[in-house]
Amino acid sequence: MKKSILLSLVLLCSMHITAQQYPFQNRNLSAKERAEDLCSRLTLEEKASLMLNSSPAIERLGIREFSWWSEALHGVARNGYATVYPSCIGMAASFDDDLLYKVYSQVSDEGRAKHTATHKAGMVKQYQGVSFWTPNINIFRDPRWGRGQETYGEDPYLTGRMGSIVVRGLQGEETKNGYYKTFACAKHYAVHSGPESTRHTLNLDDVSPRDLWETYLPAFRKVVKDGGVKEVMCAYQRIDGDPCCGSNRLLTQILRNEWGFDGVVVSDCGAIDDFFKKGHHEIVPDAQAAAGRAVLSGTDVNCGKTYKHLPEAVRNRYISEKELDVSVKRLLEGRFLLGDFDDDAQNPWTQIPLSCVASKEHKQTALEMARETMVLLQNKNKALPLKKNEKFIVMGPNANDSIMLWGIYYGKPTHSVTVVDGIKERMGRAPYYQACELVSFNEKASKNIKRVVEYGTDMAIEDSKTQVGDFSIASALAAARDYKTVIFVGGISPVIEREEAKVDLPGFMGGDRTSIELPQVQRDIIAALHKAGKKVILVNCSGSAVALTPEVETCDAILQAWYPGEQGGLAVADVLTGAYNPSGKLPVTFYKDDSALGDFEDYSMKGKTYRYLNTEPLFPFGFGLSYTSFKIMSAQFDKSGKSIDVVVKNTGKRTGTETVQLYMRCAEDAEGPMKTLRGYGRITLNAGKTGHLSIACGDDVFERFDTDTNTMRSDLKGDYELLIGTSSSDCPIVLKVAR
């Protein structure tokens, strides 16, 4: 503590001594001019130190320590208390641009407020900065990838559109007094989506130009050109022999020269080590060669320690100091734009109060988003919503698991509402039956794997614990004996579905899955309950698609709840009881079984996602049911020809929200996608009412890959079809366009 106070005093004194002594301290100069001046005053060793993700203070110039690495995937993470919003894949299911922007505006409020408090103390450590390494805009091409829950699904258009919204929410729509609210970072550039186990060695040498430009790059181009993202993170693997963090083609030719990116490129953590580390890429002999190559290719900041060898790299002529200065000036300019060198009083963003963190308003937004993430996949005979006075029991591994709610890369919520808690709050003393674990998620939990607890209906839950023996089909049936309806809260867990997780369980490997089937023990119990005549409601919690083919037969209703955040239990309860009418749509395809999947390391899009799928899915991309029904009555171009007016009618008996989707396909493009999303819009209608929805339809809607030039073009002639519907498989209206 004494050391911390002493360093703060030294920095403050140093800053006072050097006040207005140098041009870089003059706020009337541009951030670029200030960066150029400051760079000229640094030694080679100081420059190298500033290029580390955790860069030390330089006291002689009044420079504070700085951390480029903070997390805000779905809420400020790893930095104390914060609001925990639903997982990104769940938020993608909302198809709600406005609410997504609101979420990330609140996330950046919390992040900036927390940073202001630590910045005033003069000690900003890792995870306490305002450089947030989100959004993850990789394409979720294979449901086995454990980190797919961080993304916005399998579609390039949806991912790019939502990624840009996240960026604007984090960085602020406009600078204030010349300052950005925070920096967002688009990752992992490029062509990255597992497997986790081979990411440090994988060389993708067969990615076609079409797949590269039509699937893997569009979202990055979108967040750079439209979203204005200030940081991009390069990925671990190699493409055509070049590591992504050492690829001149990716980082200079495409990112900077073609797209005009002028921000900071940061490496994924340890990615530069992979250049020379034994058993990894091994493309250069040592650390100094790796550091030199990465900087020359355009990687400005090293998450790791390899850039400590940059002075050696300069002395040994792997890179010149002048070439090094290009990156130093970029990262210094970024710090000036964040206000890191100026007094907080000059920066309006520092006025955001710390009271916003985990506030009542933010928790309400987390609940609103959790509700909108819910996707009703099946509802036989109107099994949902639950009827008044319907007697039911709740069971399953995720019924009372708060950690499941948080997903991965999460903050610390002040309070979490599990599904059981949510049902209790919404319905009073709801009975439930909980197995501590149906699958052993970790060593500690495995000790309780056979413990079963039943709670009765006529006592307060905390007072009614009763041991009923080993967990089995028999005990599950015994617990449900007096209940006609069973709510089974199952699925998987972010404890085992995550980044490089160390788990030894059937169906999982290194955080990825080897099978997308529902765990067999859950499948068997659900089947037994169905056979016993129970009405089974499955609430499936996961960060990815789960194969539920048997459950379509054994369950009366299936609700996909993802990892719904700290308020997730209330959202689930609101849908089950009918207090909220579900409106979520799948941002990924739910396949029938494992046979639909090919080689995990095959990055060809052939046969993958709804755009290229050659088999029938279980539940298609864009699909989701409601407690009411909708019909698209008509669709036509407006007078300008730049948008489509869609007429939608609520043909059901209650108010609801529908997401209308616009897809494009081209008859001349036989090797291209069968259809690809090009627009969407949400509309809320009262029962029996009709409304109009406008979906933009500019030239970019017709953009497709040109095999002659290996580029994406929107001026290619051909016969196009614009398909308008409520999912990728249900598009009743087709507009034909000749171009």
Domain end marker among 554, 587, 620: 587
Residue 109 has which token pair?
């409020």
CATH of the domain at 440: 3.40.50.1700
Q: How confident is the prediction for the chain on average, in pLDDT?
A: 91
Domain shared by 436 and 516, yes or no: yes
Q: Are residues 441 and 553 in the same domain?
A: yes
Query: Looking at residue 585, what is its pLDDT?
Result: 99
The question of whether 497 is a catalytic residue gets the answer yes
Q: Are residues 410 and 300 in the same domain?
A: no
Active-site annotation holds for 372 = no
Question: What is the distance between the alpha carbons of residues 114 and 357, in angstroms, rounded to a whole number?
Answer: 8
Q: Is residue 609 included in any domain, yes or no?
A: no
Asked whether residue 603 is assigned to any structural domain, the reply reads no
**Phi, psi torsion values for 685, nearest 5 degrees:** -135, 140
Catalytic residue among 109, 150, 268, 333: 268
Inside any domain, residue 219? yes
Q: How far apart are CA 594 and CA 599, in angstroms?
A: 11
Does 574 share its domain with 490? Answer: yes
Element (H, E) at 131: strand 131-132
The pLDDT-based confidence of 473 (bands split at 50, 70, 90) is confident
Residues 428 and 569 placed together within one structural domain of the fold: yes
Q: Is the pLDDT of residue 311 over 80?
A: yes
pLDDT band at 471 (very low <50, low <70, confident <90, very high): low
Question: Which range among 203-217, 433-447, 492-506 has the greatest average pLDDT?
Answer: 203-217
- pLDDT per position as a tens digit, 619-641: 999 999 999 999 999 999 999 99
In a domain, 315, yes or no: yes
- What is the predicted pLDDT for the residue at 716? 96
CA dihedral sign, ordered 113, 114, 118, 124? negative
Domain assignment present for 378: yes
Q: Residue 209 and residue 501: Cα distance in Å, rounded?
A: 32
Residues 576, 426: Cα–Cα separation, whole Å: 10
Q: Which domain holds residue 733?
A: 630-738
* Residue pLDDT, tens place only, 225-268: 999 999 999 999 999 999 999 999 999 999 999 999 999 999 99
Instruction: Please check the confidence at residue 470 and state whether its pLDDT lies above 50.
Output: no
DSSP letters, 86-102, are: PPHHHHHTT--HHHHHH
Which of 353, 382, 397 is a domain's end point?
353
Q: Are residues 454 and 348 in the same domain?
A: no
Per-residue pLDDT at 547: 98
- Total domain count, the chain: 3
Closest Cα to residue 630, out of 606, 605, 655, 601? 655
The whole-number pLDDT of residue 563 equals 98
Whether residue 504 is found in the same domain as residue 653: no
In this predicted structure, the answer to whether residue 329 has a pLDDT above a threshold of 70 is: yes
Range in 2-6, 209-213, 681-685 with the lowest mean pLDDT? 2-6
Instruction: Please give the model's pTM, rounded to 2 decimal places.
Output: 0.93
pLDDT at 463 over 60: no
For residue 261, what is the domain's CATH number?
Answer: 3.20.20.300
Is 624 within a domain? no
Average pLDDT over residues 441-452: 30
Q: Are residue 493 and residue 346 in the same domain, yes or no?
A: no
Rounded Cα–Cα distance for residues 608 and 614 (Å): 8
Q: Is residue 621 part of a domain?
A: no
Residue 502 is predicted with a pLDDT of 87
* Residue 185, SS3 per DSSP: strand
Asked if 6 and 87 sit in the same domain, the reply is yes
- Assess whether 219 and 280 both reside in one domain: yes
Q: What is the CATH number of the domain that holds 671?
A: 2.60.40.10
Residue 590's pLDDT band, with cuts at 50, 70 and 90, is: very high
pLDDT average, residue stretch 399-415: 96
- Residue 404 and residue 380 share a domain: yes
Instruction: Single out the catalytic residue among 71, 150, 497, 556.
Output: 497
198 confidence band (pLDDT: 50, 70, 90): very high
Query: Does the CA dihedral 418-421-425-431 come out positive or negative?
Result: positive
> Strand 375-379's sheet: what is its strand order?
375-379, 557-560, 535-541, 485-491, 392-395
Domain co-membership, 462 together with 565 = yes
User: pLDDT by residue (tens digit) across 656-670?
Assistant: 999 999 999 999 999
Residue at a domain's end among 288, 323, 353: 353
Q: Tokens representing 132?
A: 């947030």
pLDDT band at 460 (very low <50, low <70, confident <90, very high): very low
Question: Do 705 and 718 touch, CB atoms closer than 8 A?
Answer: no
Read off the pLDDT band of 450 (50, 70, 90).
Answer: very low
User: Would 610 be classed as within a structural domain?
Assistant: no
What pLDDT does 297 receive?
98
- Tell me the average pLDDT across 557-566: 98
Across 52-71, average pLDDT:
96
User: Would the pLDDT of 439 be above 50?
Assistant: no
CA distance 735 to 724: 8
Average pLDDT over residues 76-90: 98
Gap between the Cα atoms of 21 and 38, Å rounded: 12
At residue 434, the pLDDT reads 43
Amino acid at 12: L
pLDDT at 119: 85
